[in-house]
Amino acid sequence: MPNRIAVLLTAVFLTTASSFSLASEGWYESYEAARDAAEQHELPLLIHFHASYCGPCRQMSQQVFSNREVQRQLSEGLAAVEIDVARDPAIAAQFGASTIPRDVVVYRDGTTETLNVGFKSTLAYMSLLRRVAAKGAQSPAPRVVASTRIIGLEGFCPVRLLRDREWVSGREDLTTTYRGITYFFSTEELRKQFLKAPSDYAPQNMGCDPIVLLTDDRAVAGKIRFGAFFDDRLYLFSSEDNRVSFKQSPLKYTRIRHAIRVDDLVGQRFN
């Protein structure tokens, strides 16, 4: 692998950016932030589906989620996020949230469970949160195959790519694993920089082609030679035709969020 390959990727900018911080009420501010926190800390991911037009949803917001003890419990032993089904229909469809309010949990072994449908009182909801945290602490870790690794960006340094728009080979002794994918870095400083905000540097959709995700609902790995920047994020594509289609209408393929797990990936590089 060459030490340094300079490539030109198309840069397109969007005025909005996602937030990945924890909200003061105990909810993470985005699905991605909650999912990443759950994976990093091996916690259950709790998703509360709601909508502004839903009466019981508004009732829970006013009576249950305003309670300080509920807010505290939301951040103890789990990662929780609220999803508006009208704003994020793809995530709602992914978890079968056809009726609301609804609470769904994803444990660290990938097991998904619908916990509740309909209004739940403050005491009942706190009991639900405690059960999720307790079960999460006892759930088995994801199955890991020690002899193989999924290599991100084919071994090139993600920080050099996003910061300098340059493909620079990483080192075998400077790696870290994020969402089940191993990334290589050219210096220890860049590895530490990645660890501060990995979602800022890793390819979107875990490196999967967003065109295929939307049209075929398949997580097919993109190739580094078919890459494009949008909103200062890197997207990889499985073909030049797909990259061109993306450039013509990027919002069509980025406005929908996809729930992808490492076990869903097709065509990734292993070693």
Boundary-marking domain end, from 121, 138, 155: 138
pLDDT at 149: 75
pLDDT at 145: 43
| Band of pLDDT at residue 27, cut at 50, 70 and 90 | very high
Alpha-carbon span 243 to 236, nearest angstrom: 8
Whether residue 192 is predicted with pLDDT greater than 60 in this model: the reply is yes
Whether residue 108 is predicted with pLDDT greater than 50 in this model: the reply is yes
Mean pLDDT of 223-242: 89
Among candidate residues 237, 219, 256, 255, the one with its CA nearest the CA of residue 10: 237
| 13 domain residue, yes or no | no
Boundary-marking domain end, from 97, 113, 138: 138
| Domain range enclosing 66 | 31-138
Among candidate residues 127, 124, 113, 131, the one with its CA nearest the CA of residue 47: 113
Residues 156-171 have pLDDT tens digits of 999 999 899 888 889 9
Higher per-residue confidence, 8 vs 257: 257
Assign residue 169 a region (left: φ > 0; alpha: ψ between -120 and 50; beta: otherwise). Answer: beta
DSSP lists the bridge partners of residue 184 as 175
Do 169 and 152 belong to one domain? yes
pLDDT at 144: 44
Do 155 and 213 belong to one domain? yes
User: Cβ-count burial of 16 within 10 angstroms (0-12 exposed, 13-18 middle, 19+ buried)?
Assistant: exposed
Whether residue 146 is predicted with pLDDT greater than 80 in this model: the reply is no
| Band of pLDDT at residue 37, cut at 50, 70 and 90 | confident
| Band of pLDDT at residue 32, cut at 50, 70 and 90 | confident
Do 124 and 65 belong to one domain? yes
Q: Among 149-153, 166-170, 253-257, which is the least confidently predicted range?
A: 253-257
Boundary-marking domain end, from 108, 138, 168: 138
Higher per-residue confidence, 213 vs 264: 213
- Of all residues in the chain, the percent with pLDDT exceeding 90 is 39
Q: Where are the beta strands (DSSP E) in 55-124?
A: 79-84, 102-106, 112-117
Over the chain, what is the mean pLDDT?
A: 81
For residue 72, what is the domain's CATH number?
Answer: 3.40.30.10
pLDDT at 263: 55
DSSP lists the bridge partners of residue 168 as 4
For residues 136 and 108, the answer to whether their CB atoms sit within 8 Å is yes
Count the domains in the chain: 2
Mean pLDDT of 4-17: 32
